[in-house]
């Protein structure tokens, strides 16, 4: 995952219909723009369209991904996040590793004050799995530590 700090005029995906989804998260780029306020506020991203692959069987894993963060000097541009998350569609990895990678890449891209990534994976064999990763490490992430 490469990092791109952009001003409004240098965003490469927004408003470009010919942009292509990267083949892998390593090729994806989370673009950012300046946070123009000093107020601490939360930003919430949510998608139910996340897909990755089981590293053992190669079967698709489906998840609802939520990202909540308090921006520092930078905010993440939503179309670049959409393309970044879509780049996992052919990625073979365990759900826990994927959730933590998303958080690590997100923190690397925008250096938020706080961030929480929640990945609610669909049931397999009757068991659903939700993974929650927080930044800074060990930060409480809501009611009852959730």
Residues 91-136 have pLDDT tens digits of 999 999 999 999 999 999 999 999 999 999 999 889 999 999 999 9
Q: Which residues pair with 120 in a beta bridge?
A: 64, 130
Which is it for the CA torsion 96, 102, 105, 110, positive or negative? negative
| pTM as predicted | 0.84
Tell me what pLDDT residue 103 has: 98
- Active site residues per annotation: 54, 61
Q: With contact defined as beta carbons under 8 Å apart, do 77 and 33 qualify?
A: yes
Position 139 pLDDT exceeds 70: no
Position 40 pLDDT exceeds 60: yes
| Nearest alpha-carbon partner for 86 in 1, 28, 134, 46 | 28
Tell me what pLDDT residue 16 has: 59
Q: How far from chain centre, in Å, is Cα 139?
A: 18
Q: Which residues pair with 5 in a beta bridge?
A: 32
Q: Which domains does the chain have, with CATH numbers?
A: 2-11+21-137 (3.30.1130.10)
């Amino acid at each position: 995952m490469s990092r791109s700090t952009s001003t409004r005029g240098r965003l490469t995906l927004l408003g470009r219909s010919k942009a292509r989804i990267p083949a892998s998260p390593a090729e994806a780029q989370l673009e950012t723009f300046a946070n123009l306020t000093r107020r601490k506020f939360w930003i919430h991203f949510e998608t139910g369209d996340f897909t990755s692959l089981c590293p053992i069987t190669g079967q698709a894993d489906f998840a609802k991904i939520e990202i909540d963060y308090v921006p520092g000097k930078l905010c993440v541009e939503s179309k670049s996040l959409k393309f970044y998350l879509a780049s996992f569609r052919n990625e073979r990895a365990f759900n826990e590793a994927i959730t933590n990678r998303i958080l690590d890449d997100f923190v690397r891209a925008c250096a938020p004050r706080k961030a929480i990534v929640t990945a609610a994976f669909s049931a397999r064999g009757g068991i659903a799995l939700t993974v929650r990763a927080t930044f800074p490490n060990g930060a409480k992430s809501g009611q009852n530590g959730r």
